[in-house]
Amino acid sequence: MLSPNVDIAEVYVLRKLHKEKTNRLQKNTSQEKPLQNSVDGSSGCFSAAFKKGNIKQAFDAYVIGKEDALGIVVLQEWWGVDFEIKNHAQKISQLEPGYKALIPE
């Protein structure tokens, strides 16, 4: 479970990213469609296809979200990437107006 300080920090970052993207969209006058929710609420499982890629040959990472979206890094606990971290990343990628979430491995 996250501490209250981490939750507040996450909300602050997401709010700031949302404001930046909203300003950018207003300047470009282009509208984006929201992502479809593919999370099964009853089981917490997700069906989104994560792409595993190598970022500049420095480290492996999981990436989910729109190609042109603002990015956010989702850090896992010490035991590594698991379904819960991927689920958090997917939820972040589906927030309005849409983000690209990166989970370094």
Residue numbers of the domain that contains 57: 4-104
Give yes or no for a contact between 77 and 104, defined as CB atoms under 8 angstroms apart.
no
Residue 51 C-alpha from the chain's centroid: 13
Task: Give phi and psi for 13, each to the nearest 5.
Answer: -65, -45
Name 87's Cβ contacts closer than 8 Å, sequence gap at least 6: 39, 44, 46
Q: Are 99 and 91 in contact (CB under 8 A)?
A: no
What local confidence, expressed as pLDDT, does residue 17 receive? Answer: 81
10 Å CB burial of residue 77 (0-12, 13-18, 19+) is exposed
Angle, alpha carbons 56-53-20 (nearest 5°): 75
- pTM here? 0.46
What percent of the chain clears pLDDT 70, i.e. is strictly above it? 70
Kindly state the average pLDDT of the residues 55-75: 84
pLDDT of 94 over the 80 cut: yes
Q: Position of tokens 């929710």?
A: 37
Q: How many domains does the chain have?
A: 1
